[in-house]
Amino acid sequence: MADRDFHVEKCLPELAGAIKRSKVLMVGAGGIGCELLKNLVLTGFGEVHLLDLDTIDLSNLNRQFLFQKQHIKKSKALVAKETAAKFNPHVKLEAYHANIKDAKYDIAWFQQFNLVFNALDNIDARRHVNKMCLAADVPLIESGTTGFRGQVQVIVRGKTECYDCHPKEVPKSFPICTIRSTPSQPIHCIVWAKSYLFSQVFGVDEDEGTLDGSSNAENADEIANLAKEANALKVIREAVGQPEFKRLVFDKVFKEDIERLRSMEEMWQSRTKPDSLSFDTVNSKAQEQGGQPWTNDQALWTLEDNILVFNDSLDRLSARLLKLKADAVPDSAAPVLSFDKDDVDTLDFVAAAANIRAHIFGIDKKTKFEIKQMAGNIIAAIATTNAIIAGVCVLQSFKVLKNEIKQAKTVFLSRRPERVFNNEVVASPVQDCQVCGVARAQLRCDTSKHTLGEVVEMLKQTCGYTDEISVLTDNLIYDPDFDDNVSKSLADLSAGSGVFLTVVDEDEDDEAGPRVNLVLAIQHIEGQTIVELDSTPDIARRPKKQLVETDNVVPAAPEVNGTGEKRKREGEDDSESGSSKKKKVEQEVLYINDGDEIEID
């Protein structure tokens, strides 16, 4: 290890000390995260904290090289720490099997780090980390990959663009690495049905093979579990065409596997547990209903409809596979079926299986027509792309540690052989970005005692606001025509520690124009006697071009989430009795809905 330190000091004489003293956070321990953690440890970063909510799946092992078979179903973060610690025992590692959006990971927690690395696979979590790093004023290195393409972006408050400065295009690829354990969107269920279930039952079993027989006391149980699962799948494949085939498939993936997931209590601390289904129960109801729902690809099938389609498609696919086997040349490779979105039988199976899984996890179902569109566009993660992007992340971190932000680059990796790398100088913040183009401060108070009215009065006195302001959390909680909440404590309004208040200046009579939004991060201090800000924010004026009429839309800060609908005052109906002021505020809140936007990790 001394030799490694020697070479780092020789290669990076100006940075070796800063690297050793650095305390960094890495969010995400998947494809990029495994490569990045290895790089950080071997480079000699003094203290690395890593956080990931996912557990290890068999499909991760071909590209997430910190994990092995005996680690399946264990926490990615905890196993990554254990494995990477062997590379450099001088690096202090801390791992968290948790959700980065949990309230305990607040601004104060982020402020302990010199630098944050994002290695996430979904837009919502990326936006959250971007928001928290801006609020904590901690540099962020954002990264992502999609097949052969990837990018790295350096984000520093007030100096560079942030993750939300530009609208994100709808990705044309979808993640494969975390869909088996904690699906949260319809596309996760579709990928699971197509890439896992269909291939396991009718395709090539990539997981089949000789299990490592060198089991010890530490991994004996896991090896036994893997052997049991492999045997269960073998029994299912051998039962193709037999009367019990449908029951075996259904109970394996929709009952036994779900009950196993439910038993992992740590996975459901901040999620709703899935509900397992029994073939006998749901099939009897479906048979009573009857019909041929698969003939209507535009209808949103009920659970019973999906059961009928699932059963019928299994019969059709079983018959096809048995015929292929009967017609096969002796001693030739075993025949298999492959998914084709234009193949009615395979599409029916994937659509029904995906919708049943969506029902189990409380996710919206999709029509067969929609599933056909989504299932035709799945791209797997590639290990070499992850490795390259992880290396670029570390190279860019050196510029941040040297405080040479102007030397940092936004790097793009492409598949074009004539120019694999494209890079550009980091851009300045977009002036009207509603995430980084706002003023920020921390609001210190006792949320159980201090009221919204006290906060509003403090803002008028401290920041010079007039009466024409609106205050929002997930919804509008105050404006001059909506003062129902002024006597309520912040806690009563679910505005506790870590919640963001967005203050919108509505005073368009001011010759200078209204000011940009002020975003306040609430810091609960037990026994605090006054409501105060940690500092007096410098709130810039909105550019003249941003001033709008009542019927236009001005995006509000992404800290404001939800439906965009405000509660009505008592006695207010849906007619024009509501004030124009109130209507205007409703129109000024633009809520971001990610829909099916997901990015590869």
Catalytic sites, residue numbers: 177
Alpha-carbon gap, residue 168 to 163, rounded angstroms: 9
DSSP 8-state code for residue 176? -
Q: Is 29 annotated as a binding residue?
A: yes
Q: Which residues pair with 502 in a beta bridge?
A: 472, 519
Q: Is residue 291 part of an annotated ligand binding site?
A: no
Q: Say if residue 594 carries a ligand binding annotation.
A: no
Cα–Cα distance between 273 and 260 in angstroms, integer?
A: 11
Q: What are phi and psi of 270, to 5 degrees?
A: -125, 20
Residue 32 annotated as lining a ligand binding site: yes
The answer to the question of whether 467 is labelled as a binding residue is: no
Residue 213 CB partners (closer than 8 Å, separation 6+): 223
For residues 234 and 222, give the distance between their C-alpha atoms in angstroms, rounded to a whole number: 18
- The answer to whether the annotation marks 144 as part of a ligand binding site is no
Is 123 annotated to bind a ligand? Reply is: yes
Instruction: Specify whether the CB–CB gap between 503 and 464 falls below 8 A.
Output: no
CA dihedral (437, 442, 446, 451) positive or negative: negative
C-alpha to C-alpha distances, 561 to 20, 230, 326, 556, nearest whole angstrom: 39, 44, 58, 9
Q: How many CB atoms lie within 10 A of CB 402?
A: 14
In contact, 164 and 157? CB cutoff 8 Å = no
391 annotated as ligand-binding: no
Residue 28 assigned to a binding site: yes
551 burial level (CB within 10 Å; 0-12, 13-18, 19+): exposed
In Å, the largest CA–CA distance within the chain is 88
Judge whether 63 is annotated as a binding position.
yes
Q: Determine whether the annotation assigns residue 61 to a binding site.
A: yes
Quote the CA–CA distance of 395 and 597 in Å, as a whole number: 29
Whether residue 593 is annotated as binding a ligand: the answer is no
3-state class percentages of the chain: helix first, strand second, coil last, to nearest 5 = 40, 15, 50
Helical H runs in 25-138? 31-43, 76-84, 107-110, 123-136
Give the count of beta carbons closer than 10 Å to the beta carbon of residue 382.
Answer: 18
Give dist(CA 235, CA 240) in Å, integer.
9
> Side chain identity at 511, as an amino acid letter?
E
Full DSSP string of 355-416: HHHHHHTT-----HHHHHHHHT------HHHHHHHHHHHHHHHHHHHTT-GGG-EEEEE-S-
Tell me if 60 is assigned to a ligand binding site: yes
Determine if residue 165 is labeled as part of a ligand binding site.
yes
CA distance 573 to 345: 51
Per-residue DSSP letters for 191-222?
A: HIIIIIIIHHHHS--TT-S-------TTTHHH
Is 162 among the annotated ligand-binding positions?
yes
Distance of CA 8 to the CA centre of its chain: 35
255 labeled binding residue = no
Instruction: Tell me if 488 is assigned to a ligand binding site.
Output: no
362 Rama class: left (phi>0) / alpha (psi -120 to 50) / beta? left
Q: How far apart are CA 30 and CA 65, in angstroms?
A: 10
> Euclidean distance between the first and final Cα of the chain, in Å?
31
Cross-strand bridge partners of residue 93? 48
Question: 230: annotated binding-site residue?
Answer: no
Q: How many Å apart are CA 49 and CA 154, to the nearest integer?
A: 19
3-state secondary structure of 29: coil
- Is 190 among the annotated ligand-binding positions? no
The alpha carbon of 535 is separated from its chain's Cα centroid by a whole number of angstroms, namely 32
Q: Is 280 annotated as a binding residue?
A: no
DSSP 8-state assignment for residue 267:
G
Q: Is 62 annotated as a binding residue?
A: yes
List residues forming the annotated binding site for ATP: 28-33, 52, 60-63, 76, 121-126
Q: Which residues are annotated as a binding site for Zn(2+)?
A: 162, 165, 433, 436
Which residues sit in the known binding site? 28-33, 52, 60-63, 76, 121-126, 162, 165, 433, 436
